[in-house]
Amino acid sequence: MRFPSDPRERPIAVFDSGVGGLTVLHELLVRLPNEDFVYLGDTARFPYGDRGPDELRRFSLQIAEELLARGAKLLVVACNSATAAALPALRRRMLETTLGVDVLGVVGPEAVHAVTATHNGRIGLLATTATVASGAYAAAVHAADPHVDLIPVAAPDLAPMIQSGFPFDERVVEVVRGYVAPLVEAEVDTVILGCTHYPLVRPMLQRMLGRDVRIVTSGAALARQVEHALGSRGLSSPRTGEGAYSFLSTGDPEAFRMLGTRFLQLPLGEVEQVRLHAEVAA
Amino acid sequence: MRFPSDPRERPIAVFDSGVGGLTVLHELLVRLPNEDFVYLGDTARFPYGDRGPDELRRFSLQIAEELLARGAKLLVVACNSATAAALPALRRRMLETTLGVDVLGVVGPEAVHAVTATHNGRIGLLATTATVASGAYAAAVHAADPHVDLIPVAAPDLAPMIQSGFPFDERVVEVVRGYVAPLVEAEVDTVILGCTHYPLVRPMLQRMLGRDVRIVTSGAALARQVEHALGSRGLSSPRTGEGAYSFLSTGDPEAFRMLGTRFLQLPLGEVEQVRLHAEVAA
């Protein structure tokens, strides 16, 4: 595979277990319009939530090899489970490459963003049961500011409801209302959406939380870090016009395209089905 | 029809020729979560764009009577054509009522918002041909600041594409790109979306315009004025929990519900079909 000899012209690679990471790509496309992107959704092995850390490290390294072979200048892990399990292993592997590719993940950027956004020191977290149980957000928030309170709420039904059905539904409202209640009760002034599916119901959440509560999404927080990472390494695209973006899926490409459009809120175009061969030792 | 004796507990009424005004209601629901709302879409007589001012005044007064009969404490005209043709007539009529109901329309709030947002004094306008031709935005912008340049672009194909089909489509991208080009060329730093359909393609617009360009929508600008209007008259809802919202349509209620959900990005629930009888002299 050939790619531009000027590393600044190479794409930023983003991956997730499925379509949820497209809400992260959405923010990147809007905030970094001059960059090229390649997105890989590992839909054939979705969901990652119930898999063990060894397996997730193996999957993540396979995907990283594929994206590196496509000329990635930066790797973004747009998946909570993969970030928690594989970020250090990915960083080691990618820094061994000729270009020394940086790897950025979720969790850390939202935690830093939330800590700077809160005024009353009370931050809510909405995430999957596994993410809440991992303690990753609590650790990241307290690393950024040990004096802040994090109020975590596990929302086990929310991501499947958003993904499988229609996100603007009375049933979804009732489920979301139940998850939001303890955050309102705790008087948080900032809420981290700790799952990439949740931005699709952001208007509903904002209405229930009240308009003065600041909602922090992975995409918005990560976009800033991606920009800094490119800038500090002299890797920002020299282009002034709009960049291109393309999609890879390990599962059915048409299903990916149909569902993905709702998450991206931009046209998806063609989706290429990809087989991941390279098994790499973690 | 009975409604609360405390006028603060009455609903805010919003109307449009169809579903476009739901993007305005969306902002109101998120920014004023404690208020009740009733929305009327005059889909049986959609579109308003090609109708004359006398007819639009007649339609608007009919609708206002219906909404007044449902206890409206404030009337919001979420339609460019109706605002341009009927705002003064509506204001006269509504101030004659027992409660002295205020009427707020689009155009004015966006103009004021854009003038305060711009740094370089160059504001773009995307709107329908009729709205651009009316000169209403130019007048409103220059009333707020005579030294600001307004660069208007008529986008005749955009609202029908958004309404009839799928808004995240390659065809839409190409059409939008053509409309955005003269705004980029003119180096505007602020763009007014002068049609209530356009917020559905906001991410696409933001990416093409560049992330530093401020996009001003009718909904966000109006929500602030609605809040001030209620506050200054002591009419803000005393409720602390979430308010209710309901929908009336002069056309097929199921079609309204299906299309409307996409515009509202919140559940619509039941839609009541309404017949407008009262003919009122303008």
Quick check: B30 contacting A, CB < 8 Å? Answer: yes
Are A73 and A48 in contact by the 8 Å Cβ rule? The answer is no
pLDDT tens figures, B121-147: 999 999 998 899 989 999 999 999 999
B151 by Cβ neighbours in 10 Å (0-12 / 13-18 / 19+) ranks as: middle
B214 in the same domain as B112: yes
Residue of B13, B79, B191, B200 marked catalytic: B79
A40 in the same domain as A74: yes
Are A130 and A152 in contact by the 8 Å Cβ rule? The answer is no
A71 in the same domain as A20: yes
Does B2 reside within a domain? no
Does A256 reside within a domain? yes
Taking an 8 Å cut-off on Cβ atoms, the answer to whether A33 and B207 are in contact is yes
Higher-pLDDT residue of A165 and A258 is A258
B79 in the same domain as B126: no
Are A25 and A37 in contact by the 8 Å Cβ rule? The answer is yes
Nearest CA to A78 out of A126, A114, A110, A117 is that of A110
Distance CA A66, CA A70 (A): 7
Strands in A173-263 per DSSP E: 190-193, 214-217, 245-249
Quick check: A170 contacting B, CB < 8 Å? Answer: yes
User: Across the A/B interface, how many CB contacts are shorter than 8 Å?
Assistant: 62
Does B259 reside within a domain? yes
Higher-pLDDT residue of A68 and A95 is A68
Distance CA B149, CA A77 (A): 44
Sequence-ordered list of residues with C-beta below 8 angstroms from that of B115, at least 6 positions apart, any chain: B123, B141, B144, B145, B148
Residue of A nearest to B171 (CA): A267
**Chain B (64-83) residues lying within 8 Å, Cβ to Cβ, of chain A:** none
3-class secondary structure, B271: strand
Distance CA A74, CA B57 (A): 58
Extract the tokens encoding A198: 């949740």
B117 in the same domain as B88: no
Are A93 and A280 in contact by the 8 Å Cβ rule? The answer is yes
Does A2 reside within a domain? no
Amino acid type, B11:
P
Residue of B nearest to A204 (CA): B266
User: Closest Cα of chain A to B34: distance in Å?
Assistant: 9
Query: Binning pLDDT at 50, 70 and 90, where does residue B282 land?
Result: very low
B87 in the same domain as B189: no
Flag the least confident range among A135-144, A224-233, B158-167: B158-167
Distance CA A151, CA A68 (A): 38
Domain boundary among B179, B197, B218: B218
Mean pLDDT, residues B78-105 taken together:
90
Strands in chain A per DSSP E: 12-16, 37-41, 74-77, 102-105, 122-127, 149-154, 190-193, 214-217, 245-249, 271-273
Domain boundary among A218, A241, A265: A218
Mean pLDDT, residues B80-109 taken together:
90
Extract the tokens encoding A59: 């999957």
What's the confidence (pLDDT) of residue B3? 75
Query: Binning pLDDT at 50, 70 and 90, where does residue A202 land?
Result: very high
Quick check: B224 contacting A, CB < 8 Å? Answer: no
Does B58 reside within a domain? yes
A144 in the same domain as A65: no
Are B109 and B62 in contact by the 8 Å Cβ rule? The answer is no
Q: What is the DSSP string of B190-217?
A: EEEE-STTGGGGHHHHHHHH-TTSEEEE
* Res B103 pLDDT > 90: yes
Quick check: A168 contacting B, CB < 8 Å? Answer: yes
- Print the domain residue range for B193: 108-218
Quick check: A178 contacting B, CB < 8 Å? Answer: no
What's the confidence (pLDDT) of residue B166? 67
Distance CA B106, CA B110 (A): 7
pLDDT tens figures, B183-214: 999 999 999 999 999 999 999 999 999 999 99
Extract the tokens encoding B196: 């209530």
Domain boundary among A203, A218, A233: A218
* Res A115 pLDDT > 50: yes
What's the confidence (pLDDT) of residue B50? 78
Q: Which residues of A touch B203 (CB under 8 A)?
A: 26, 29-30, 265-266
Extract the tokens encoding B28: 């109101």
Quick check: B244 contacting A, CB < 8 Å? Answer: no
* Res A166 pLDDT > 90: no
* Res A269 pLDDT > 90: no
User: Mean pLDDT for chain B?
Assistant: 92
CATH of residue A76: 3.40.50.1860
Are B176 and B197 in contact by the 8 Å Cβ rule? The answer is no
A241 in the same domain as A198: no
* Res A213 pLDDT > 90: yes
What's the confidence (pLDDT) of residue B63? 97
Flag the least confident range among A82-86, A150-154, B93-97, B185-189: B93-97
Query: Binning pLDDT at 50, 70 and 90, where does residue A1 land?
Result: low
Give yes or no: A79 in active site.
yes
What's the confidence (pLDDT) of residue B207? 94
Amino acid type, B175:
V
Domain count for chain B: 2
Q: Which residues of A touch B207 (CB under 8 A)?
A: 29-30, 33, 242, 266
Does B281 reside within a domain? no
Does A281 reside within a domain? no
Of the residues B211, B212, B226, the best mutation for testing chain A's interface (the one with the most A CB atoms within 10 Å of its CB) is B211
pLDDT tens figures, A168-189: 888 889 999 999 999 999 999 9
Does B71 reside within a domain? yes
Mean pLDDT, residues A115-133 taken together:
95
| Top-ranked range on mean pLDDT: pick from A56-65, B157-166, B253-262 | A56-65
A95 in the same domain as A229: yes
Task: Choose the closest CB to A203 out of B30, B166, B242.
Answer: B30
3-class secondary structure, B48: coil
Residue A218 has phi, psi (to 5 degrees) of -60, -40
Taking an 8 Å cut-off on Cβ atoms, the answer to whether A265 and B207 are in contact is no
Mean pLDDT, residues B170-178 taken together:
91
Give yes or no: B24 in active site.
no
A26 in the same domain as A159: no
Query: Binning pLDDT at 50, 70 and 90, where does residue A2 land?
Result: low
Taking an 8 Å cut-off on Cβ atoms, the answer to whether A207 and B30 are in contact is yes
Taking an 8 Å cut-off on Cβ atoms, the answer to whether B168 and A242 are in contact is no
Distance CA A23, CA A119 (A): 27
A54 in the same domain as A29: yes
Mean pLDDT, residues B58-67 taken together:
96
Quick check: B265 contacting A, CB < 8 Å? Answer: yes
Residue of B38, B61, B195, B268 marked catalytic: B195
B209 in the same domain as B132: yes
Of the residues A24, A26, A168, A264, the best mutation for testing chain B's interface (the one with the most B CB atoms within 10 Å of its CB) is A168
Quick check: B266 contacting A, CB < 8 Å? Answer: yes
